[in-house]
Amino acid sequence: MALQFSDQFFLEDASSPGATSRGDGSVLVPLALFGESPPESVSVVDFAGREVSFVLTGRTFFADSSAGTEVFAGWSYWEDEDTDYPGSPAVELFVLSPDFPAADYPRG
């Protein structure tokens, strides 16, 4: 069964007018949706209604350079290059670590 982006928390990328107008951002989901470990890929229904695959690109850490700390936040996924098309929104699927609250995800 595909993960419905419309059922998840979307954090808009407000870093630039272009990002906002394209609909760029991050879809934040808890690890519990997948069990105890993140999958290598996730079938999703994106905001345009397309069923596509998002692939794991790596673990994400956020650093507080002034405090000298680094926190593991979760796993980052991006749409498979085979289905991504020019001009489409840049939407990250972000699977949150159980110890990292969504409220702590950086807002752009």
pLDDT digits (tens, 9 = 90+) for 8-24: 999 999 999 999 999 99
Predicted local distance difference test score (pLDDT) of residue 83? 82
pLDDT for residue 87 is more than 80? no
CA dihedral of residues 40, 44, 47, 48 (deg, nearest 10): 110
pLDDT in tens, 28-51: 999 999 999 999 999 999 999 999
The one-letter amino acid at 21: S
User: Could you tell me the pTM of the whole model?
Assistant: 0.92
pLDDT reported for residue 8: 97
